[in-house]
Amino acid sequence: MKSTVSKSMFRTLFYLRKNEVNKAGNCSIMVRITINKEQTQFSSKLQIKPELWDTTNAKVSGNSAQAVNINRLLNAMRVKIDEIYHKQLNEHGYVLPEKIKNIVLGIETDKKKMLLEHFAGHNEFYLLKIGRDTSQITYGRYELTKTRLKEFLKKECKLSDIPVMELTPIFIERFFLFLQNEHGCSNNTALKFVQRFRTVFNYIKSTGADIKIDPFVSFRFKTKKVVREVLTQEEIDTIYRKDFLTERLCHVRDVFIFMCYTGLSYIDVTRLTEDNIKTAFDGHQWIMTNRQKTNVPSNIRLLEIPLEIIERYKGKQKDGKLFPVCSNQKMNEYLKEIATICGIDKPVTCHTARHTFGTTVTLANGVPIETVSKMLGHTDIRTTQIYARIVDKKLSSDMDNLAKAYKTRKYTKRKAL
C-alpha cells in the first residue's frame, strides 16, 4: 500500500518479515515509513502465512474473512499514518519517521526531545528555585530566551519546534545573528541569550536525552569591551542641586541620586523598606538587605546625602516602602529628560547610578575594590572590576602618591659622562 502523498517525500509500505516464521507458520506484517530518505520500521502486530501475502500490492491476497479483516486494519493504519504525517507537517513544518512510529505505538518519550518543550520544562524547574539561589529577573530572561527561539524557529526555519538532536553549530550561529539583526541586540547582549540557551541545552543533556553532538562546541563566546558611562562628581552634584518643576522629576532625581550613593540596582531600591535601615555596631546607619538578583547580602553605609533623601520620604509610602518608585522603563525615560535639562550629554539610566557608585563615589575616593565588591553584593570580584573603572582623578592621585614616595628616597647622583 502506498500513501496518497508524493513518493519522493513520504511513503508507507507494508511488507512481510519472511526470515522469521513462528510455530504456526505465520510471519509478522511490518510497517516501513520513509520521509525524505529517512526510514523507520516496526511491527503492525498482525501476522499472515507467507503464501497469502501479495508482495506487489502489499496486502493479503484473496477475499477470505481473514484477508478482508487484515487488509481493513492495514488500510486503517495507513490512513492514521497519513493523518499523523499531515498534522505534524502543519504544526511543525517537518516530520520525522520516528515521530510517526512513536505516536502510532503510543510511545510518548519522543515528545520530550523537542527543544521548546524541553525549554519550558527547564523554566518550570527554575521557577521552583526562585528565592533560594535564583531570582525572578533571571527566570524572566530564560522565558525571553525561549520566546526569541520560538520567533527564530518560526521566521527563519518555518518551524514551531525542533528536535534537540537536530540542533547544529549553524543553527546556533544563525540564532546569534537573528538576535542582532531582528532585535538590535549588541554583541554582548546576544551572547547572553546564547549562554542561557547553552545552559538549557546542558540541562536537557542531564535529563538523559540521547544527544550525540554538542552544537555549541565551535561557537565563540567572545565579548566585546564596552565603555560604560559613569557620572562625574560634578554631574552628580548638578542633578542633585537642580530644581525641577514637576514632582515626578523630583522623585526620580532623588531615587537616582540615592542609587548613585548606595550602588543599589533599580529592583533592589524598589524593594527597600524602613526595616532595611539599621544602626550598626559603629553607631552609623546602614542599608542591610539581600540583592534580589543573587540573594547575596549587601550592606552599605549611608552617607549624608542618601540620609537626607530618606528623611524627606520617611513614613510617606505604603507598606513601609522607602521611596515612590515608578517602572524601570519610566525611570529611564525621566532620567533622559533630567540629563537634557541638566546639560549632561551622555546616556543616563538606572544602571548608570550603579556604575557611578562603583567608580566615582567609591573607587575614585580610595575605597578598596574588595570593599566596593562587598557593598555591591557581588560574588566574584571580577564582576566588580567591570563596574569599577579607574577614573582619571584616581589615576592622577595614585601617581602623585607614587611620585612623593620616590621623592623621599635618596640616590647618589651619577657623574656626567
The whole-number average pLDDT for the span 404-414 is 67
Q: How confident is the model at residue 105 (pLDDT cuts 50, 70, 90)?
A: confident
357: three-class secondary structure by DSSP: helix
- Rounded to whole angstroms, how far apart are CA atoms 224 and 299? 31
Query: How does DSSP classify residue 409?
Result: S
Strand-pair partners of 14: 31
Position 121 scores a pLDDT of 87
pLDDT-above-90 percentage for the chain:
43
In the predicted model, is pLDDT for residue 5 greater than 80?
no
Identify the residue whose cell numbers are 546639560: 343
Q: How many helices (H) and strands (E) would you count in the chain?
A: 15, 8
In the predicted model, is pLDDT for residue 412 greater than 70?
no
Higher pLDDT: 305 or 413? It is 305
Which string of DSSP letters, residue by residue, matches 284-303?
SEEEEEE-TTT--EEEEE--
- Topology annotation, domain 233-399: hpI Integrase; Chain A (1.10.443)
Position 7 scores a pLDDT of 40
pLDDT-above-70 percentage for the chain:
89
Position 125 scores a pLDDT of 86
- Contact (Cβ atoms closer than 8 angstroms) between residue 143 and residue 123: yes
- Distance from chain centroid for Cα 405: 50
Which string of DSSP letters, residue by residue, matches 216-273?
TTT----PPP-------HHHHHHHHHPPPSSHHHHHHHHHHHHHHTT---HHHHHH-B
Position 135 scores a pLDDT of 75
- Rounded to whole angstroms, how far apart are CA atoms 411 and 206? 66
Among 131-140, 352-361, 369-378, whose mean pLDDT is lowest? 131-140
Higher pLDDT: 295 or 219? It is 219
Higher pLDDT: 386 or 300? It is 300
Q: What type of residue sits at position 104? A: V
Position 6 scores a pLDDT of 40
List the domain boundaries for the chain.
10-103, 113-206, 233-399
Position 145 scores a pLDDT of 96
Alpha carbon of 221 to those of 32, 188, 189, 195, 397: distances in Å? 43, 9, 11, 8, 37
The whole-number average pLDDT for the span 274-299 is 82
346: three-class secondary structure by DSSP: coil
Higher pLDDT: 211 or 216? It is 216
Which one, of 410, 398, 405, 300, lies nearest residue 357 by Cα?
300
Burial of 121: CB neighbours in 10 Å, binned 0-12, 13-18, 19+? middle
Crossing angle for the helix pair 65-92 and 97-105, to the nearest 10 degrees: 120
In the predicted model, is pLDDT for residue 110 greater than 60?
no
Q: What is the pLDDT of residues 50-84, one digit of tens each?
A: 999 999 999 999 999 999 999 999 999 999 999 99
- Rounded to whole angstroms, how far apart are CA atoms 215 and 13? 34
In the predicted model, is pLDDT for residue 293 greater than 70?
no
Q: How confident is the model at residue 112 (pLDDT cuts 50, 70, 90)?
A: low
In the predicted model, is pLDDT for residue 388 greater than 70?
no
Q: How confident is the model at residue 170 (pLDDT cuts 50, 70, 90)?
A: very high
Query: How does DSSP classify residue 114?
Result: B
- What's the grid cell of residue 13? 509500505
Q: How confident is the model at residue 49 (pLDDT cuts 50, 70, 90)?
A: very high
> How much is the mean pLDDT over the chain?
85
The whole-number average pLDDT for the span 17-24 is 87
The whole-number average pLDDT for the span 324-331 is 90
In the predicted model, is pLDDT for residue 390 greater than 80?
no
The whole-number average pLDDT for the span 377-387 is 72
In the predicted model, is pLDDT for residue 295 greater than 90?
no
- Rounded to whole angstroms, how far apart are CA atoms 220 and 408? 51
The whole-number average pLDDT for the span 323-331 is 90
Position 318 scores a pLDDT of 78
Sign of CA dihedral 188, 194, 196, 202: negative
Position 251 scores a pLDDT of 94
Higher pLDDT: 63 or 377? It is 63
Among left, alpha and beta (phi > 0; psi -120 to 50; other), residue 244 is beta
The whole-number average pLDDT for the span 203-207 is 86
Identify the residue whose cell numbers are 529628560: 337
